[in-house]
Structure 1
Amino acid sequence: MRARRSCNQFLRSASGGLILTIAVIFILASARVSVGQKSASSFVISNARVFDGEKIITGATVVVSDGKIAAVGPKIATPSDAQIIDATGYTLMPGLIDSHVHIWTRDVLASALAFGVTTELDMFMRWRQAMHWKEQESKGAFDVADFRTAGTCVTSPAGHGTEEGFPIPTINTPEEAAAFVDARIAEGSDYIKIMYDFGDNYSVMSRETMAAVVRAAHKRGKLVLVHIGSYEGAIEAIEAGADGLAHLPHDRPPAKEFGTFVKAHHAFVETTLAIPRFLFGNDGGGDTIVDDPLLAPYLLTSDTGLLKGIAPVKAQVHGMILHHIQQLRNPTPFEIRERESLKGIAPDQYEAFSNAEETLCLLDRAGVPILVGTDAANGATAGALMHAELDTVVKAGLSPVEALTDATSVPAKIFSLNDRGRIAPGLRADLLLVRGDPTVDIGATKDIVAIWKQGVRFDRDAFRESIAQRNEAWRFGRGWWPWSDLRFGGNSKVHVSVTEGGPDHASGTMSIEGNVKSGIAEPFAGVMYFPVGWGFSPVNYSGVKDLSFWARGNGGSYGISIFTQSRGRVPASVPFGASKEWEQHTIPLSAFRTDGHDITGAFIGGDRMGIYQLEVSRFRFGSGASIGVDLIPMPAIPGSKGKFSASRLIIGSVTKESPAEVAGLKTGDTIIGVGNEKVTDPERVKALLWQSAPGHMVPIEIVRGERHQIVNVTLSEHP
């Protein structure tokens, strides 16, 4: 191995146009270009069992032309030049519609489509992202599901929805309702979502305010859904004129008249039962999705961890919630009603999940419209969870045909999506082809043969490979992604693999094979590192003086670029060479024209035409020192009191035999300071540790129980 290379070499201007190349990422990202995107073509699906969204047609032919369904029936003439797809033994159905999701990232839309969900109905997301993605959709985006959105939810100060970690407007009085609803519509809300749930540590708006919001929304022609947490809340929401309930209430067994009450008020109900089933049912948790061979190859490692965390809880959770409400000094009238409701629940009923199943069947028998929704992205994976939701509602008592209807034509009708939800002439060719017969065995929806969005076939094989590559890069470390111009309309490709070991006692090495091709003005291929795990969100690494990594390659010229929030679309880049021997490269952050206070990402790769090989190991900012804890940020709930009135940083886990364990830090401790600086962000904690060398002792200020104390931790070097 060669000695450390002098940083002076990196201060020269970048060659090969890498700065311009990487800057193009942002420019192209704003103009929607999809992997494998192509115009819709004409094709014919023959010999299919067709579930058209309402009924079954056997031995049918479906003709698709220019993204729409041209004809459906058992005896249909087929165009002579059309592609023929023999669907013998298969079932064709409309693309599924998930009636309750939260689109926090674009991955939600991509994952949904990969599992046959062609339309997502969002129930709370960042409205600016919604506007941006809708603009992309208008230009054609065939690698993600279509969506509609509630945008910003309607909630009270310190109400449910204010805890997501970003500020949102809140409503106090009925008099504010008209202006509040107008603001949501101006932001692009397709319908209105109200939070009317006491939650845990949340406030709730008055009945009068909720009713005023409903009236204001109806005056402007918008549907209103209400998030509720109890039967009392459900009844009050429906009495206020809500069009639908965003969840099934299941805090107690339903009264016999509940179904006729909901039906008489012409309201609908969304299911969102799979996650509660995983938590309170008797047949396994989220690991049932992770372990399913039909679903697992399409799941990210980061998501499988979340799913495995949705595990059955014990009946004591009922007692914990009740105890919390009983300890409130000044409960609201709503909380008093919740307390009385919880007193009437037997723990075994809560754990058995029977209340939810009974409520669903009661509503179904009464003729209440049921919409299948998952609450996906609220601790689970979009798309895959839809199949678990279908399975859940069938196990609860609905027939497979009813479940499929409630996931296709029913939500399309309720939300006035008149161009989809059924297989009929003139409608969008949003289609799902599966092996077997899901109208008999609902599990057949998972055995997917093909997916079309507006007549364009989704490349599921390419999606599976991209998931495998992202999972492989994740093995090198959280936040690493394969990254090339392919996702922005180019033809360049990158393949990564991770092996154990490496130079200087490294724990792992990432091998990068780039194939840079001419497809856009400035092609590139390599890997991206996102400090927060995904997306260009800024972190504060101020005080960290440099970054370092080991590299070896095939003698070519490569580059490393740093993105910052202040520079936006234009990163700063520094070239480096990599021979066949391992070399350590240390580059001051000043070479990237940053002090590190707002770093959003780092790119390593090449932009010269042709194939290149590069291996990277021991990539780190500063010293890379670690104490061996997993930190969980808990955002403040605006307007709340007590421990939720301020942001907190909780130790989620402590690595065995780590410096933290040796020093006595424990899971559940709140870290409030490192050295002389107060902290609430895990990335800032990392940066403060990286300013010190391994072996150095750092004082960590914590709160354990109600007691503040200082724990001195001796840093170790993370391999």
Structure 2
Amino acid sequence: MSMNKMVLSKNNWLSLAAAATLGAFFLLLPEPQSLTNSFVLGPVQLFDGETQLPQPQYIEVRQGLIHSISAERPNSDAPFIDSKNPDGSPQWLMPGLIDAHVHSWGNAQQQQLSFGVTSAIDLFSAAAQLPQLKTSRDDLSQAQQSDLWSAGTLVTAPKGHGTEYGMQIPVLQAPDDAEAFVAARKAEGSDFIKIVYQSERAIYKSMPSISQQSLQAVIAAAHRQHLKAVVHIAEQVSAIDAVKAGADGLVHSFFDSRISATLLAELKQRDVFVIPTMTVYEAAVRGSSAQQILLQYPDLPLSQAAKAALAGAKNPRIPAHLYQNLIDNSRAMHQAGIRLLAGTDAPNAGTYHGLSMVLEVALLQEAGLTFFDALHAATAAPAKAFNLPQRGRIAVGYRADFLLLPALSQATDLLQAKVYKNGWAVKLSKSPPQRAAVSAGALADFRHSVTPQQGAMFVASSDQMMQGQSSASASLQSQGSPATIKVQGEIDTTAPYPWAGVAWMASPDYLQGLDFSGISHLQFQLRGSAGQYRLLAFSEGNQRPAEFSFTATATLQQIEVPLQQLKGLDPSRITMLLWTVNTGNANQTFEFELTAPVLLANP
């Protein structure tokens, strides 16, 4: 979930003929003729989550549950939905997708459902939402969001991964605390336990980790309390420790090395499932699948938010050839019979809730899974691995959570799906909700206050929130002409992502942005320690910022930033603008002054 993780670890491509069909995406399929969640639908070609049935079937749904599946149309008084294509051929029916690795906040569950993800596995979120999640997923009424099972608060060490997001969470101090720690998570409503672990033998160390003894103690405590325990790993030595400690699943794979015969044997013998999260790794390491599958086609009606989230995630610090290790490791695990589950790690950089499941299915195919094997990894397999009741299958007694599609032969066909949740046809916008718009003019008036006129706050910011050692402080210089914010500090170049400077934030919680769509340029003046500086711009759901570099001197320089040049930024939901000194070859102190930024309207 962190940018640090990207440093650690984090073909079935479309033919030109297939690309010609993309203009039909989000096709409006026949609407159900019933105002209830009871109906008969057919005839359909059926992929039930496990296998393809050889002949077309009719599905009867009663009050949101699948009542019967038969080759003949049932004698029923329920409304009938004719699911033939215009040419008379039957459409396809398959279970709703299950994303086995997400982090849900804001409108994530609505985004998931709009793209056919009817259930999802959350692997770190606020514990306060857990009781509500349990209540909503038991409801058979008309739903506007996916069902969610969650680990709630993860298990991590003091200052470990998960503590860097600005919110206070409990941390595990020692192995003896494991039983009580797990009990507290269970009491909060966690459906399973997620553990963050890095072996002491790992070559690259990022953030502090619990010990191997604590790992073993937490897994044992989870099992005693009848909870599954899954482990976040980023390299092979950590994976080996986690599997031998009794983990039920690994919630990432690794690309630091090719998988060993020893680890394959352990995974197989212990029946450990693996969520490779191909999409988030591919975006960071190779960085081409979103462009090849989705973004290069102008007729594909993606929102600006989706395009921004999927673009510009490649991490130049990671050699692109390392992604081949992940492909080869996933292929080896699949060939050995290891259970692979489709999970995207959305909304990390290069991902988008729901939509990234299309990429995950395609990337699993690249790793050697057949198309229907990949669909199994995105439906029945995660339902079984996480014990999700009545999900992941088209079967009698199961939820009527399914996708109706004109065709089903490649990953992008999923984008044409009509989505049913609890038997109700889903009508959700695939675009996120509109945000309040900023106005042209100054963001602040530093003559009177550091509080912005638009947005929530200006605040000193540094990589200490990611366990870096840089520092920054800010003070208002209201008596000068022009008035400025003065920023002083030290940049630590040894951090994976060093920064130190001052940030404007659209909202206090960093989760909700403001709409800059009507703004063409951002203008400001800056003077300070001579050298290179950067403006980092963040938008909702994208943890990797867009960057603009510039040079500063001891005299005020006016800088004008064209927003359209900020690759990977969604201007309709900007959350933070950060002015920071650039990194050099050694630690350095710095000082700079920034005038109130001004927004210039589109002509």
457, 474, 481: which one aligns with 2:425 = 457
Kept in 1, the 8 Å contact 2:502–2:579? The answer is no
Q: Take 1:424 and 1:42, find their aligned partners in 2: how far apart are those partners?
A: 16
Q: CA RMSD in A?
A: 3.9
Structure 2 equivalent of residue 196 of structure 1: 197
Aligned equivalent of 1:587? none
Asked if 1:307 is matched to 2:307, the reply is no
Give the aligned residue type for 2:395: A
Structure 1 residue identity aligned to 2:416: D
Structure 1 distance, partners of 2:332, 2:354, is 27
Alignment match of 2:64 (pick from 57, 62, 67)? 67
| Aligned residue among 64, 83, 88 for 1:86 | 83
Q: What aligned pairs does 1:64-463 form with structure 2 within 5 A after superposition?
A: 64-87=61-84, 88-105=89-106, 107-138=107-138, 140=141, 142-197=143-198, 201-281=206-286, 283-285=288-290, 288-291=293-296, 296-297=301-302, 299=303, 301-311=304-314, 313-314=315-316, 317-318=317-318, 347=319, 349-350=321-322, 353-379=323-349, 380-438=351-409, 441-448=410-417, 450-460=418-428, 463=429
> Structure 1: which amino acid aligns with 2:154?
C
Query: Which secondary structure does the structure 2 equivalent of 1:71 belong to?
Result: strand
Aligned to 1:42: 38
1:643 to 470, 473, 476: 470
Please report how far the alpha carbon of residue 434 of structure 1 lies from its aligned counterpart in structure 2 after TM superposition: 1.4
CA distance in 2, matches of 1:225, 1:190: 11
- Segments of structure 1 that go 5 or more residues without pairing to the other structure are 1-35, 319-346, 479-505, 508-530, 532-539, 546-595, 598-620, 671-694
- Write the distance in 2 (CA, Å) between the matches of 1:152 and 1:424: 33
Within 2, Cα distance between the matches of 1:656 and 1:82? 55
- The separation in 1 between residues aligned to 2:358 and 2:190, in whole angstroms, is 27
Question: Does the 8 Å CA contact 1:651/1:669 hold for their aligned counterparts?
Answer: no
Provide the residue aligned with 2:590 in structure 1. 708
1:85 to 1:165, Cα distance in 2 relative to 1, 3 A = farther
Unpaired runs of at least 5, structure 2: 1-31, 474-488, 490-498, 505-519, 537-557, 559-577
Cα–Cα, structure 1 residues 99 and 443, in superposed 2: closer, same or farther, change >3 Å? same
Q: Give 1:452's aligned amino acid.
A: Y
Contact 2:101 2:122 in 1 (8 A): yes
CA distance in 2, matches of 1:644, 1:182: 37
Cα distance in 2 for residues equivalent to 1:75 and 1:285: 41
**Higher helix content, 1 or 2:** 1
Q: What is residue 550 of structure 2 aligned with on the other side?
A: none
Shift of 1:86: 1.9
Flag the 1:233–1:418 CA change in 2: closer, same or farther, 3 A. same
Secondary structure of 2:92's counterpart equals strand
Amino acid at match of 1:131: P
Task: Measure, in 1, the Cα distance between the counterparts of 2:65 and 2:522.
Answer: 61
Question: Equivalent residues in 2 for 1:657-668 (5 A)?
Answer: 658-660=523-525, 666-668=532-534
Residues 295 and 477 (structure 1 numbering): CA distance in 2 closer, same or farther, change over 3 Å? farther
CA displacement at 1:708 relative to structure 2 = 2.6
Task: Write out per-residue CA displacement over residues 658-700 of structure 1, whole angstroms, 9 at most, x where no aligned residue.
Answer: 3336877853489xxxxxxxxxxxxxxxxxxxxxxxx9xxxx9
Q: Is the 8 A contact 1:52 1:423 kept in 2?
A: yes
CA–CA distance in 2 between the matches of 1:257 and 1:355?
A: 17
Structure 2 CA distance for aligned equivalents of residues 112 and 541 of structure 1: 40
CA contact (8 A) 1:92 1:434 kept: yes
Moved over 4 A (4+): 136-141, 284-288, 290-295, 540-545, 630-635, 644-653, 661-666, 700-705, 714-719
- Bigger CA radius of gyration: 1
Q: Could you tell me how far 1:119 is from its partner in structure 2? A: 0.2
Q: Give the 3-state SS of the residue equivalent to 1:658 in structure 2.
A: strand
TM-score by length of 2: 0.70
How much does 1:145 deviate? 0.2
Q: Which amino acid aligns with 1:273?
A: M
TM-superposed CA distance for 1:711, in Å, is 3.0
Native 8 Å contact 1:634 1:649 kept in 2: yes
Q: Secondary structure at the match of 2:143?
A: coil
Identity %, equivalent residues: 28
